[in-house]
Amino acid sequence: MTLTTETQPVSNELTPEKLDAFADEYYLNAAVADVDIEEMGQERSLDRTLAALHGAERVLEMGFGTGLVTGELLARGVNIEVVEGSPRLAQAALEKHAGTGLVVHTAMFEEFTPAEPYDAVLALHIAEHVDDPVALFSQIRTWLRPGGALIVMVPNAESLHRRLAVRMGFMDRLDVLSDRDRLVGHLRVFDFDMLGRDLNAAGFSVTEQFGYQLKTVPNSMMLDWPQELIAALIDISPEIPPAMLANIGVRAIAN
């Protein structure tokens, strides 16, 4: 299925100050009800996501978030650096991983220039937050060595729970942004075709597609579900076509 993508009438116009405010509102806010669901999804699917690195020796992670991915990469011995636009989150990364030698670059993505190219870049749940994904991917391409890999993860417009919402009349299109999307700063959702077009336009070729977490309802309706059920919906992901899952990912190679 190909979306008739429409430009969403919103813009982030991100600044370090806005990123700090967002960090306080979401990533550093223990009161956000669905963080545990999101964290479980990422944690239980990390093996597949990180497998897309194909053993890359020098890796850049875009954004620190809650620090889950950074911690896993360090624990697995990956030579990881982080670029983070929020000074508060950059400081949190340094404090949380003090003594590990973690390099944290405090910079907006548009302003960042690495001293040396990377073998791979992780852009996990980044592209849905920016005004111009093609411009972002083009910028990332300059950070990579020739043939370097970009691993992208984004929310899936074709997820089963979105398909059901359209079927039930709660949404008129698959790419409509929900209240939660807007709360966490999403400007869009993607399908594989849309993501592939944006990456191709930026000089990448997609070589792998994958996804994680089967959802039938939004997070707000899952808050009192048994943890075992949520875990099962994540763990069953390899048995489900990726285009049906809540989050989709790709590995793309710089041409």
What mean pLDDT do residues 178-201 have?
90
Q: Tell me, rounded to whole angstroms, the distance of Cα 10 from its chain centroid.
A: 19
Q: Examine the pLDDT at 3 and tell me if it is beyond 70.
A: no
The residue type at 95 = E
Looking up tokens 């194909």, which residue turns up? 54
Residue 74's domain comprises: 16-254
In a domain, 136, yes or no: yes
Alpha helices in 55-178 (DSSP H): 68-75, 87-96, 133-143, 160-167
| CA 156 – CA 75 distance, rounded (Å) | 29
Q: pTM to 2 decimals?
A: 0.89
Query: Residue 8 falls within a domain, yes or no?
Result: no
**What's the structural domain count of the chain?**
1
Of 64-68, 151-155, 238-242, where does mean pLDDT reach its minimum? 64-68
Is position 2 within any domain? no
- According to the model, what pLDDT value does residue 12 have? 55
Average pLDDT over residues 127-151: 96
Q: If 0-12 CB within 10 Å is exposed, 13-18 middle and 19+ buried, where does residue 163 land?
A: middle
- Which residue has better confidence, 154 or 24? 154
Render pLDDT for 59-87 as a digit per residue (tens, 0 to 9). Answer: 999 999 889 999 999 999 999 999 999 99
Q: What is the pLDDT of residue 182?
A: 79
38 phi, psi to nearest 5 deg: -65, -45
Q: How far apart are CA 53 and CA 69, in angstroms?
A: 13
Q: How far is CA 224 from CA 64, 197, 218, 227, in A?
A: 28, 38, 12, 9
**Residue 85 is assigned to a structural domain of this protein:** yes
Domain CATH for 49: 3.40.50.150
